[in-house]
Amino acid sequence: MNLRTPGPTPIPDSVAAALSQPMINHRGPEFADLLHEVTTELQTAFQTRNDLFLLTSSGTGGLEAAVVNTFSPGDRLLAISIGNFGERFATIAERFGCDVQVLAFPYGEAADPQAVAQRLAADPTIKGVLLTHNETSTGVTNDLEALATVVRAAGPLLVVDGVSSAGSLEIKTDEWGIDLLVSASQKGWMVPPGIAMISVSPRAWEANATAKLPRYYWDLALAKKEAARGQTPWTPGITVLYGFREALRLMRAEGFDAVYAKHRRIGAYTRAAVKSLGLRLVPVDERRASDTVTAFYLPDGTNEKAFLEQLRTQHDVVLAGGQGELAGKIARIGHMGMVEEADIDDVTQAIRQTLAAPATAAP
């Protein structure tokens, strides 16, 4: 199967093999070593000296952890949304009783740093900004450095969803001043789902000390205390961490700069391939198109479900469909982690043949 969804991503053989290692005591020295290695390697990948924690959850759990550890009911937040995952981030904070102001840009566009700066200047009561780095639903990557600069200048805490970017697209957490950065194992990290990662800046810790949103499972102050003795507060997802250790060794061997360069190369290659089929990209400005996921509009009259099903059953190619406003209208190709040009060629050929000879009936 050519699994080309934007996560879970294919797993290298050595990572798959690592998953089968015997269980260990999560309160013992073997686990402390495992936790230490994965944590410190991820700090390197995040380019941060901040604390970093591993949560047993999906990426959405990591986003919830970021919110509940940092804010109080009624806190005014600015959620910058450019698609489905931006909306999700806003919804999480709303559900917990924050006063969430949404600054939404149309699907397909990136957030405009100047518009963000104006909004922040107009409302000094905003305590935090929720920002999606790479919007998986539209295949658009925000200019995180530029956005972080305006948020930093205005003062609020910056909370970044890097679920589908960190590890594939370079993020300079400390240099850009990101207070909380969240990612998840099943994206460019080449690891199965089950672990979310979150880094916490000193400013975020200050906010944490007075943050009143209720939390227990996600309590990062407790995680910090337990980390000091090589443990996690609750039983951790040991198997996925075995895979993570191996995947990080592979990434270190390749070099993170090489990993980022590969994603830039494959991103451009995929967009060129899609355009060569006469298909239109969802990103309106290709300079902001994502190098981890490519979203394109299906030709008029194409049934999204039937198209994806035909790709899967006739070509063994698995893509994702549209989400939110774009449900039913687009397809998305994931190209993060373990991916080469040949994988994209296979996808391109499958799309070409499927569009040329669509199945007669929808499934």
In DSSP notation, 153-168 reads HH--EEEEE-TTTBTT
Applying CB under 8 A, among 2, 9, 50, 69 the residue interacting with a second copy is: 9
Binding track, positions 128-167, relative to a second copy; x by CB under 8 A: ----------------------------------------
- Is 7 a binding residue for a second copy by CB under 8 A? The answer is yes
Cα angle, residue 318 at apex, residues 132 and 61 outer, rounded to 5°: 35
Applying CB under 8 A, among 128, 139, 156, 192 the residue interacting with a second copy is: 192
Cis amide leading into 29 (omega within 30) = no
What the block records as the tokens of 174 is 């400390």
Given the complex with a second copy, which of 218 and 296 has the nearer CB atom? 218
Tell me the angle at which helices 84-95 and 59-68 cross, rounded to the nearest 10 degrees. Answer: 40
Query: Phi and psi at residue 225, in whole multiples of 5°?
Result: -60, -45
Binding track, positions 26-65, relative to a second copy; x by CB under 8 A: xxx---------------------------xxxxxx--x-
The residues, any chain, with a CB within 8 Å of residue 131's CB and separated by 6 or more, are: 80, 86, 111, 142, 144, 147, 151, 158, 159, 160, 161
Query: What is the enclosing helix (H) or strand (E) of 90?
Result: helix 84-95
- Is 188 a binding residue for a second copy by CB under 8 A? The answer is no
The residues, any chain, with a CB within 8 Å of residue 244's CB and separated by 6 or more, are: 38, 54, 185, 189, 191, 195
* 225-244 binders of a second copy (CB under 8 A): 233-240, 243
Given the complex with a second copy, which of 73 and 255 has the nearer CB atom? 73
Given the complex with a second copy, which of 150 and 159 has the nearer CB atom? 159
Given the complex with a second copy, which of 54 and 344 has the nearer CB atom? 54
* 306-345 binders of a second copy (CB under 8 A): 312, 318, 320
Minimum Å gap between C-beta 112 and a second copy is 28
C-alpha 353 chain-centroid distance: 31
CA–CA distance, 125 with 270 (Å, rounded to integer): 43
Given the complex with a second copy, which of 8 and 113 has the nearer CB atom? 8
Given the complex with a second copy, which of 48 and 57 has the nearer CB atom? 57
Q: Which stretch binds a second copy (CB under 8 A): 4-12, 223-231, 263-271, 353-361?
A: 4-12
The residues, any chain, with a CB within 8 Å of residue 181's CB and separated by 6 or more, are: 46, 48, 160, 162, 166, 171, 173, 198, 199
Q: Which stretch binds a second copy (CB under 8 A): 103-111, 125-133, 214-222, 256-264?
A: 214-222
- Nearest CA to 172 out of 107, 260, 252 is that of 260
Residues that bind a second copy (rule: CB under 8 A) add up to a total of 54
What the block records as the tokens of 31 is 């686990």
Applying CB under 8 A, among 116, 148, 184, 251 the residue interacting with a second copy is: 184
Q: How many residues belong to the chain?
A: 363
Query: What is the enclosing helix (H) or strand (E) of 121?
Result: helix 113-122
Minimum Å gap between C-beta 259 and a second copy is 19
Given the complex with a second copy, which of 64 and 170 has the nearer CB atom? 64
Binding track, positions 59-98, relative to a second copy; x by CB under 8 A: xxx--x--------------------------xx--xxx-
- Is 216 a binding residue for a second copy by CB under 8 A? The answer is yes
CA–CA distance, 81 with 50 (Å, rounded to integer): 26
Minimum Å gap between C-beta 104 and a second copy is 19
Q: Is 8 within 8 Å of 190 (Cβ atoms)?
A: no
Summarize as ranges the residues that interact with a second copy (CB under 8 A). Answer: 1, 3, 5, 7-11, 16-17, 19-28, 56-61, 64, 91-92, 95-97, 184, 186, 192-194, 213-217, 233-240, 243, 312, 318, 320
